[in-house]
Amino acid sequence: MLKITVDENIADAVETFSQFGEVELLSGRLITRNKLLTTDILIIRSVTKINKDLLTNTPVKFVGTATIGTDHIDSEYLKSNKIAFVDAKGCNANAVVEYVFTAITEIINQQKLDFKDLTLGVIGIGNIGGKVVKLGKALGMKVLLNDPPLKRLTKSDEFIELKDLLKKCDIITLHVPLNLTGIDKTLHLLDYEKLSLIRDKAIIINSSRGNVIDNNALEELIDKKSFTVVLDVWENEPSINLFLLRKVNIATPHVAGYSYEGKVNGTKMIYDALCNFLGVKSLWQPKFLPVENHGINIETDYQLEEMLNKIFSKVYKIKNDDDEMKKMLTMNQEVPAKHFDALRKNYPLRREFSNYTVKFYGQNANLIEILKSFRFNVDTIFNS
């Protein structure tokens, strides 16, 4: 019988992986080499660093990460030791996109801004960034793109230099992997110099990796430049910069992709890959929970920005996450870091927009098109 060690934050882990043997759930930060001395299969999330120190002299022969990022994985070590590896790219892309636009609509309503007057800069045009681009355009924003690898690949003029994007955009959102070295290094992609290029009063959103922004530099500049900042990812998680936390407009504990669907999709992708690795039939199918009270009634005599803010916030109350996160500011010593991890472990059920139907009177073709682009169902049968 195989021994499978699984991060306790992975959805439906026991039900799913017990098909293969004995399942042990552990906190991702407590997965150590001593815990793996009898483990054959290891399934983790981003907080567990996969490297020689963790795996040497263990029987682990398959590693799966139920995340889209792989900067916590020493892929060369796995390859050289013939340890199979799979990630879950794309599993929670919709959840992250919904996080980004929920934050945007919250902020532009606070600041009384209009979509049509704003320029959105998207850094990294992959699975998530590409969706952000389409939705930004659907909302009437001018959208600028930066992605050096894609520019080299496509030779397309639609990609501009990072410095130009930073100078021209009202909203900047990051969707890049963490690359520590090389031509496409993203470690401190936004350092003091780059952050200084961003126009005053800009909105900065990071839901990619914490080390992509120099947090100390951001903390120094945030007031000088009157930035409005949304951070889901932080340097040195869970022991983050509390001085920066105090200044951030919306702060969350690395949960942008933590929708129920995103988590289950990640589990399913790792499960299918493990079945393929072991040469067994895939038997488990996720049974998605139904959504209760999934109808959203909305009056259409508001501005588009206000309507979307009301709709999005009925699905995902992002300010609740911010309130819980900022409780760290009143805690002493090591308690904030424990609180950060506890928020992730005990994260409440969050469903994606596709589970909800927006109902309203009258015909509003522009609103219907926008809502459908965000994957909402729309019901206008109660026409007056």
Q: Where are the alpha helices (DSSP H) in the chain?
A: 13-17, 52-55, 75-80, 93-110, 127-138, 148-154, 162-168, 192-197, 215-221, 242-247, 260-278, 304-315, 318-325, 335-345, 365-373
Rounded CA separation 26/24 (Å): 7
State the catalytic residue, choosing from 254, 344, 350, 351: 254
Residues 6+ apart with CB under 8 A from 222: 229, 244, 247, 248
237 has catalytic annotation: yes
Q: Reduce the DSSP state of residue 264 to 3 states and report it.
A: helix
Phi and psi torsions of 48, nearest 5°: -95, 120
254 has catalytic annotation: yes
Least Cα distance to 235 among 270, 192, 187 occurs for: 187
The alpha carbon of residue 282 and the mean position of all alpha carbons in its chain are separated, in whole angstroms, by: 28
Rounded CA separation 185/178 (Å): 8
State the catalytic residue, choosing from 72, 188, 209, 350: 209
The alpha carbon of residue 80 and the mean position of all alpha carbons in its chain are separated, in whole angstroms, by: 30
Rounded CA separation 115/369 (Å): 15
Q: Which helix (H) or strand (E) holds 22?
A: strand 21-26
State the catalytic residue, choosing from 235, 237, 261, 305: 237
Q: How far is CA 308 from CA 103, 132, 255, 301, in A?
A: 11, 16, 21, 12
* Tokens at 302, concatenated: 């508001």
Task: Cite the active site residues.
Answer: 209, 237, 254
